[in-house]
Chain A
Amino acid sequence: MNELDNIVDSLHDYEKKVLSSLTQPTSIAMAVKITGLSEIEVMRGAQWLSNKKIIVINEKKKTIASLTNRGEETLSKGLPEIRMLNSLLKENEQTFDKIKKSAGLDDQEFNKALGFTKKQGFIAIINGAVKIIQLGIDYLKLEERKKELLKVLENGGVDKRELQSFESELKEMEERGLVKVEEKNDKELITTPLGIQLLKHGLELDKKMLEKVDIKLIKGKEWENTPFRRYNIKDDVPKTYFGKKQSYNAFVERIKEKMISLGFREMEGPIVELTFNNCDALYMPQDHPARGIHDMFLIKEPGSASLKGNKFVNKVKKIHEKGWKIKFSKEITSKYMLRSQTTAVSARKMMDKNIEIPGKYFAIGRCYRPDVIDKTHLPEFDQLEGIVLGEELNIKYLFGLLRMFAEQIAKVKKYKLVPGYFPFTEPSVELHVWTGKRWMELGGAGIFREEVTKPLGINVPVIAWGLGFGRGFMTEHNIEDIRQFFSTDIKWLREESA
């Protein structure tokens, strides 16, 4: 089978009919006439042919004159005044009623015709009878032009440029509502060299081809002998959207999977947290600069919760008063706030009697800070944090953990560890990774101060770590603005990989 046979076998009935009508550049209207298809069918066939580069559809703006409904009616019956004048030419001086009958005019047509001819001075009315006069006879000759025009338009719209000789008639007919003149996108169908080849090759218009596979077709077994029409598999299909994860959530899930594969167990805690868990248990002094109302969101009602029965509060109070030398306020510690750091979840885990030692834990949690919103700041954001507990832990293991994060999470070989500062760890270290262009801070870590762990009943070293991961999502999805994490654009969500 050669290429042309393949193409012919892929042509739909509409396409074959349209193509066969194109022995020369042809308008849609003409193609409709030749093929006997409806205009929609011709358009579809033409579009498909054009997709296959068998024809080109030349779109041109044209001013087209065509008959209105009234125009068509008039064409079949003649213009009322012409009918009236013709009738008078046969038999002059007729009464109104007689003319109506002889010229076949209804009341409306008669009134119009009478008004027009009288005004133009084509007739005279004498003693209730209508009489044609010379001017009317001359006019009748002239009117052949109008008839001619209607005849020209009989077979569909015609380009106004082709009607230059009818200029005045066209104007009058338009004013009378018999002809309409419109700007139209006229489509002209022209075969390409491939189309010409196909026409030469033959379109096998009578060849039976199977179309859609349906139950009837399957049962009918016609497919045993009849070929299926070949589809153009490159044709565009309408867009449809199916279900999937939100892209950022999907990214978070993959991070969680990674953490699990590294042996970390997930921990969780509430969004609305007690200041005790968010700050005090972490040995942040109650007058710490990062504990002001510009740094954390507080809750209006209920503003605080009872800490009765919490056996850790007094121990934390004691260590604060010893170390920071300021009075520890139980009112402050029992205040509700929106969690400002996921370390609160680590604090909760350390207070959990089921904590495993040795153990590795992580949490990805929503945190809140009253930040001004811009491309890199949101008052609502996620943090990835965790703890590692073990009797043998020291700074070397801390560095080993960070090396693992650099290699496994950031996937880089070049990284550096520099001294850092966090109020609850000592020593503290920052992890910076080389992006190929510059150093970027990926995370921070340290060994919890004993002022943190001891009051919570933990007597082994605890590594606390946190990693920034939003940047990774931004790189993966080529976005510059972290507000995109919460995109409200369904189009973006649909089209972006999950």
Chain B
Amino acid sequence: MPNIEVSFKEFQKLIGKKLPKNKDKLWDITQFVKCEVDDIEGDNLKLELQDTNRPDLWNETGIARELRGALNIETGLKKYDLKKSDKVLVKNGNVKKIRPFIAAAIAKNVKFDDYQIKQLIQLQDKLDTTHGRNRKKSAIGIYDYDKIKFPVFYKAVDPKSVSFIPLGFTYELNLLQILKEHPKGIEFGDLIKEFKKYPLLVDSADNVLSMPPIINSNHLGKVTGETKNVFIEVTGTDYRAVLTAVNIVSSYLAEKGADIESVSIKSGRKTIITPNFAPTIWNLNNNNVIKRLGLVLSQKDSAGLLEKARYGIKKINKDTIIVEVPFYRTDIMHDFDLVEDIGIMYGYKNIESESLKTYTIGGLTDNTLLLNKIRELSEGLGYQEVLTYTRCDKEGLFNKDCVEIANPIGEVMNSLRNELLPMDLSFLSKNTHNEYPQRIFEAGPVLLKDKRGVIQEDHLAILDASAGSDFTTIKQVVEWLMNNLKLKFEIKNFGHEAFIPGRCAEIFVNGKAAGYFGEIHPSVLAKFNLEIPITAVELNIEKLK
């Protein structure tokens, strides 16, 4: 979830209304855009945006635009002036397999100070990270427009053939060196490393703008308080993401008072013009509004609420509302996406709740019922239930054939348990300073592999750590459990690493192996730093059904 920091005063100014400086009260307003107030500290306002599909909200002007609607200050479709410029960006066909898409815009008469530059960088960062999937789908570059000689060329070049001074550096590096030496090259190099040629933006004077999506040049790609006009470009692997990003950045600058001009992107004989502030048309069926919200809303009611949510209303037909969806709303995929906005603008606190009327019967699954029964029997034996993690260290398992985690955090907890016994012995080993006898049990899942894939079984382990514990003790436990579960069973000699040979039995229920019990071998006790006799049983509950 994107978090942003803005100036409370600037935010208030953009909305055009005095805002409460109390967290909870401000949240009552920002909730209209699914925005939580994390903190207000002096003039610093920290906001958390819940919706990962609304990149238009990850900056103060986007939030303010929507809230002006919710607060009835300005409703309906927001229109931005867009002047057509004669500036051209030429895209070379050789970027197609590397980073095929590019869009651009020009913003003139921007007013930059420290705060405004910070806000722009914040927006750029949020868009690149979340919306652009760490610069893969889209990455933004911003340049000093007045230093660029148009047309600008987007092409793929041999990484050793071009050198420039990357942003923040004082000396030239070629593209290969940038990937190796520049912090951004190291961070994002994986996006282009595999290609023979790397993407590059140069102007007509052969000055490098940037090496997208890695780093701008220090010459053209530096924006300061002195910068009057900027050139914006977005490259990426997903055209929708690229266009959305350029639209959002340029409309952001428009909200901040800049004049936006378009750029012609020429690719062979094809030309497209970006940015594009035109709305898309959506036919909303008002019955879906009524159905989903359970509110009796006329076509007009719905249309009015949509305007508060900053949609445009083109026409109201008998069954449908023809809605103009703002260019920045790329999250609209279904009528219900509009319905939710209508509901939000109606106000969740104005919607009466209704109790569920259908009668349904509750109940636990058969697995839980059996597990509970076995747990109750174990409690009845006088044992203390314990709970251990399902993840474990492979090293600690007796049977090393286990399900392993491909990406564990660090070295430990790299597998899933395939028996409860080692987990519970480990539990006892952490309690050697506590009073004995220690009688414990655990019931829960273990994970195994077979040719079908990963298998999950519920197991029960019962361990008796006490001075007098012996084979008789644990056999009594097993017999008592089996008798109470009304199960007939046989036992056979068994070999298991944890137990003393000749004092370990395998349990068979209906001819199927269902577990084992016996006396833990002193060598195993020693491994767990235990100095008390332990007997144990592990049962596969699946085989007791």
Contacts and interface: CB of A to CB of B under 8 A. Distances in A.
A297 B292 contact: no
Contacts of B22: none
B52 A421 contact: yes
Nearest to A393: B356
Given A323-B333, A388-B356, A426-B334, A486 B389 contact: yes
Interface string B398-421: 000001111111000100100000
A378 to B, nearest CB: 9
A412 interface: no
A154 to B, nearest CB: 43
Given A246-B386, A300-B406, A426-B336, A419 B34 contact: yes
A427 interface: yes
Nearest to A395: B293
A252 B51 CA distance: 31
A55 to B, nearest CB: 30
A270 interface: yes
A263 B359 CA distance: 8
A289 B129 CA distance: 9
Contact of A400 (B339, B340, B355, B438): B355
Contact of A490 (B333, B349, B409, B434): B434
Given A297-B407, A429-B348, A360 B356 contact: yes
A383 to B, nearest CB: 14
B112 interface: no
A439 B26 CA distance: 14
Given A266-B363, A447-B292, A450-B334, A271 B384 contact: no
Interface in A419-473: 419-421, 423, 426-430, 439, 447, 449-451, 461
Contacts of B430: 488-489
Interface in A222-253: 239, 241-246, 248-249, 253
Nearest to A274: B453
Given A266-B364, A271-B390, A403 B353 contact: yes
A303 B389 contact: no
Contact of A379 (B293, B359, B391, B440): B391
B502 interface: no
Given A262-B362, A271-B416, A396 B453 contact: no
A366 to B, nearest CB: 6
Interface in A207-231: none
Contact of A366 (B137, B390, B409, B449): B390
A137 interface: no
B361 interface: yes
Given A272-B447, A419-B32, A491-B434, A263 B52 contact: no
Nearest to A293: B407
B292 A394 contact: yes
B390 A245 contact: no
Contact of A265 (B24, B238, B360, B391): B360
B456 interface: yes
B354 interface: yes
Contact of A243 (B356, B383, B387, B391): B383
B358 A256 contact: no
Contacts of A243: 378-385, 439
Contacts of A249: 375, 385, 387
A380 B392 CA distance: 11
A421 B53 contact: yes
B240 interface: yes
Contacts of B438: 490
A261 interface: yes
Contacts, number: 243
A52 interface: no
Nearest to A296: B407
Given A243-B381, A494-B384, A419 B344 contact: yes
B339 A427 contact: yes
A305 interface: yes
B493 interface: no
Interface string B22-34: 0010010001101
A372 B240 CA distance: 34
Interface string A466-498: 000000000000000000011111110110001
Contact of A416 (B336, B349, B355, B403): B349
A394 B293 contact: yes
B433 to A, nearest CB: 9
Interface string A301-333: 111011000000000000000010110000000
B337 interface: yes
A396 B360 contact: no
Given A427-B336, A449-B336, A248 B344 contact: no
A298 B355 contact: no
A57 interface: no
A179 interface: no
Interface centre among A297, A325, A356, A430 (most CB of B within 10 A): A297
Interface stretch (B10-18, B273-281, B365-373): B365-373
B536 to A, nearest CB: 16
A397 interface: yes
B384 A241 contact: yes
B351 to A, nearest CB: 6
A261 B50 contact: no
Nearest to B337: A426
Contacts of B364: 256, 260, 266
Contacts of A491: 431, 434-435
Interface centre among A259, A288, A302 (most CB of B within 10 A): A302
Contacts of B27: 418
A145 B51 CA distance: 100
A338 B384 contact: no
A301 B449 contact: yes
Contacts of A487: 387
B362 A397 contact: no
A451 B456 CA distance: 30
Given A287-B133, A449-B336, A260 B363 contact: yes
A420 B454 CA distance: 35
A399 B409 contact: no
Contacts of B137: 287
Given A272-B447, A379-B391, A488 B353 contact: no
B9 interface: no
B469 to A, nearest CB: 15
Contacts of A244: 379, 384-385
Nearest to A446: B340
A334 to B, nearest CB: 10
Nearest to B430: A488
Contacts of B355: 397, 400, 403-404
A299 B403 contact: yes
B352 interface: yes
B445 interface: yes
Contacts of B383: 243
Contacts of A325: 240
Given A245-B379, A299-B404, A397-B353, 15 more contacts: A241-B384, A246-B386, A261-B362, A267-B365, A268-B365, A287-B133, A289-B133, A359-B360, A370-B407, A390-B356, A419-B31, A420-B34, A421-B50, A421-B52, A447-B292
20 contacts: A243-B378, A243-B439, A245-B385, A261-B362, A268-B365, A271-B416, A287-B137, A297-B406, A300-B405, A336-B453, A373-B409, A395-B294, A399-B351, A418-B31, A418-B348, A419-B344, A427-B339, A427-B340, A486-B389, A491-B431
Interface of B: 24, 27, 31-32, 34, 50-53, 130, 133, 137, 238, 240, 291-295, 333-334, 336-337, 339-340, 343-344, 348-349, 351-365, 367-368, 372, 375, 378-391, 403-409, 413, 416, 427, 430-431, 434-435, 438-440, 445, 447, 449, 452-454, 456
Interface of A: 239, 241-246, 248-249, 253, 256, 259-268, 270-272, 287-290, 293, 297-303, 305-306, 323, 325-326, 336, 338, 356, 358-360, 366, 368, 370, 372-373, 379-380, 388, 390, 392, 394-397, 399-404, 416-421, 423, 426-430, 439, 447, 449-451, 461, 485-491, 493-494, 498
